[in-house]
Amino acid sequence: MSRGVAITGMGIISAIGNNVEENYESLLEGKTGISRVSKIKTIHRDDIMVGEISFTNQELEHQLGLSSDNNYSRAALLGSIAAKQAIVNAGISNINKYKTGLISSNSVGGMDMTEAHFYDYFKNEAIQKYINGHHSGDSSQKIAEQLGLEKSFVTTISTACSSSANAIMLGARLIKSGQLDRVIVGGVDCLTKFTINGFKSLMILSDTFNSPFDEDRKGLNLGEAAAFLVLESDKVLQAKNKPVLGYVKGYANTNDAYHQTASSDNGDGATLAMEKALKVAQLSSKDITYINAHGTATINNDLSEGRAILRVFGNDVPLFSSTKTYTGHTLAAAGAIEAVYSILALQNNIVFPNLNFKTQMKEFNITPQLELKEKELQTVMSNSFGFGGNCSTVIFSKKQ
Amino acid sequence: MKTVYINSIGSISSQKTFDNSEFLDDIISYEDNVISVVNPSYRDYISPGDSRRMSKGIKMGIVASKIALNDAGLETVDAIIIGTGMGLLKGFEKFLKALLDNNEQFLTPTSFIQSTHNTIGGQIALGLKCKGYNFTYVHDSISFESAMLDAKLMLENNEANVVLVGGVDEIGDYTAELHKLIHHIKTEKVHSTKLLKSQTKGVVYSEGANFFVLSNERQNTSYALIEAIKTYNTLGNININKVVSEFLKENNLDIETIDIVVLGNNGDITHDYFYNDLSAGIFNSTQQVYYKHLCGEFNTASSFGVWLASNILKTQKLPEAIKLNTIEASKYKTILLYNQYRGENHSLTLLHKC
């Protein structure tokens, strides 16, 4: 397990842009994608804010050139768009040339179609094509098909809000161990009534713009997004001599083992994840120059994560910010879109600001980065934490 | 690279499998299209209060994992990796129905929380106070194989020494009705012994939980060692015989070294040809075994296959009821398992006697 893991391609679609360039522009301009929900009919419309992708399903189907009898859920559509961008970005023409895999992730699979048609399936034969699209593996199979992957390792991870960080982690381990030469990793989730109401019933949705690490934070904004990264082995790089965007240097997944939906007050799981990831990367906490925090803006997460950061970094906390102020919390996709943002930060030596911050939290004295800042970055840490006590940290570096 | 052993097992299935001192001593037959499990006494493992709150899938997962941990004499593990194809359907159905029926009002979070795919892994970690690696795979009929593959990777590379791996799926009544509508579940009842002769579309649907403690350290009580696992999203136009031959070659084996092939036939006339092609093809002189007439079909039913093969290798016994042909192997040393669902997500698992 000593081989390098290079990132050679990225693709993304989110509330702040339909590709990598648009996302980067929005981050530079401090332009948020948070608004009132427009595509989903919900009685909570005026009580919540979301990060919606502007394209309709029809527009996405058209972009993918799908026939009208397709049975793609929105997750399958968004995932296909982002994964295809990543392949183009990595300059891959023959996907089956090397031992290539796909590791996707999502939290609710084809729930958008299920909730739209749930009671109508018995009456209307035309919509029955969506029944088997409910399970989480369906969108991954479709993304693989869109990429032309055959006879390959294709799987799906679902660990709530840390899902796609875990997809990156598994991909890196498969490359390091030599089991795969190339793997496309990432995740996708679309907005659904199911998730809106689920988080609403947990009373952790903000009625205004989310403000991570702010004393008066009111909860999270849900968002939809998809992002994929292409990871390649030294073997492929030597053969192809292609540009490398960054490296997956360290990673770790731990469990808080505290509560099904809440994080422990002192962030035990988060602390362990950050420490273990540093160990895998063979780095010390001083080597981290920026943390893209999980920072959902719930009372519980930001306190727990902030304390964990203090436990790991002591008096030397690096610059940190949460980009969920731009995109909302995109659940299973969060780890992957924030991986893209971490790579953009590394490539451009820029720390993206944490929007909407007004008041310092009283439990500790660390403050997120509030202005766009140019700074030479070597390594970026990205945190993703989820229900079920799931805690993930991935470390990206400029150099191997 | 270290060798990976199956050190213990724990199973809840449509057969009485929760008692590890037995190995399919009394076969239960069904005549139905959706079958449930033979329940252990959940109260022996979970407090009544917790038991009331937990859905079936969570309970099955917790108890099967405890049976496996007890079997290995362990209090906890380094990592927990779960496979579940459909996830916790009962919680999902309950929350979605409440949402639709009451126009998004009066909702409580319990069933939402219990619909999250990684709840089983999270609850097991909570019970064991296990702060280690905790993953959940949700990829159709290779959910369990993905979990096993991940564990194998960990153990071979010394990232962990003891890993709990499990496959769990629970029946959702409404989802089952929907799958009958599209003939993925048979619309007629079928007798267990006549499953492969049904000549109809769809499967006899079920649920279950099969857990294993995997380790890179062998115990005297170990069941088997895992030589290889490989999954394929699709096969394109390539014949399954060729795929299996290639797999054996990659592992430096030939057909003759396979003593028993365990096939995932589920009686679905539209997709059983993959198994039939192998039965009549490269394995026509090999002892063949099937099991879905015993445990039904569900996305992680192949974990029952691994439970079965582990028991054959350890006990060196092979129950009459699982024989698919009349060929008798001279020894039970190397077992190959093949599974697929609806022509996608194929898996090959190679187990060897310890």
Q: Could you tell me if A177 lies within 8 Å of chain B, comparing CB atoms? A: yes
Q: Quick one: average pLDDT of B41-45?
A: 95
Q: How far apart are the C-alpha atoms of B83 and A357, rounded to whole Å?
A: 40
Q: Are residues B162 and B235 located together in one domain of the fold? A: no
Q: Provide the shortest C-alpha distance from residue B22 to chain A (in Å).
A: 33
From B247, which residue of chain A is nearest by alpha-carbon distance? Answer: A151
Residues of chain A with CATH 3.40.47.10: 6-240, 248-397
Q: Which CATH architecture has domain A6-240?
A: 3-Layer(aba) Sandwich (3.40)
Look at the block and give the residue holding tokens 């295809």. A84
Q: Select from A122, A272, A387 the Cβ nearest to the Cβ of B116.
A: A387
H helices within A46-107, ranges in order? Answer: 57-64, 74-89
**B296, part of any domain:** yes
Strand order in the sheet with A222-223: A34-35, A50-51, A222-223
Say what the pLDDT of residue A261 is. Answer: 87
Q: Select from A135, A155, A253 the Cβ nearest to the Cβ of B133.
A: A253
**In percent, how much of chain B has pLDDT > 90?**
98
Last residue of some domain: B215, B236, B269?
B215
Q: Quick one: average pLDDT of B44-49?
A: 93
**B13, part of any domain:** yes
Please list the rounded mean pLDDT of every run of 10 residues in chain A (400 residues).
86 98 98 97 97 98 97 98 98 95 98 98 98 98 98 98 98 97 98 98 98 98 98 93 95 95 93 98 98 98 98 97 98 98 98 98 97 98 96 96
Range list of β-strands (E), chain A: 6-13, 34-35, 50-51, 100-105, 153-157, 182-189, 222-223, 225-232, 246-255, 290-292, 319-321, 350-351, 373-374, 379-386, 390-397
Q: Are residues B17 and B76 located together in one domain of the fold? A: yes
Q: Which residues contact B246 (CB under 8 A, 6 or more apart)?
A: none
Say if the Cβ atoms of A153 and B96 lie within 8 Å: no
Q: Select from A145, A173, A387 the Cβ nearest to the Cβ of B153.
A: A173
Q: What's this model's pTM, rounded to 2 decimal places?
A: 0.98
Say what the pLDDT of residue A77 is. Answer: 98
The CATH number of the domain covering residues in A248-397: 3.40.47.10
Other Cβ atoms closer than 10 A to B101:
10
Q: Could you tell me if A22 lies within 8 Å of chain B, comparing CB atoms? A: no
Is residue A366 within 8 A of residue A317, CB to CB? The reply is: yes
Q: Quick one: average pLDDT of B161-187?
A: 98
Q: Could you tell me if B181 lies within 8 Å of chain A, comparing CB atoms? A: yes
Q: Provide the shortest C-alpha distance from residue A298 to chain B (in Å).
A: 16
**B221, part of any domain:** no
Residue type, A42: T
What is the count of structural domains for chain B? 2
Q: Could you tell me the CATH number of the domain that includes residue B314?
A: 3.40.47.10
Other Cβ atoms closer than 10 A to A161:
27
Integer angstrom CA distances of residue B42 from A119, B57, B59, B120, B122: 33, 12, 7, 15, 18
Q: Are residues B144 and B231 located together in one domain of the fold? A: no
Q: What angle do CA A210, A211, A213 make, to 5 degrees?
A: 140
Say what the pLDDT of residue B278 is. Answer: 98
Give the structural domain span for B79: 4-215
Q: Is A185 helix (H, G, I), strand (E, B) or coil?
A: strand
Mind listing the pLDDT tens digit for each residue in B76-108? 999 999 999 999 999 999 999 999 999 999 999
Q: Which residues contact A389 (CB under 8 A, 6 or more apart)?
A: A255, A256, A257, A258, A259, A260, A263, A269, B122, B125, B126, B134
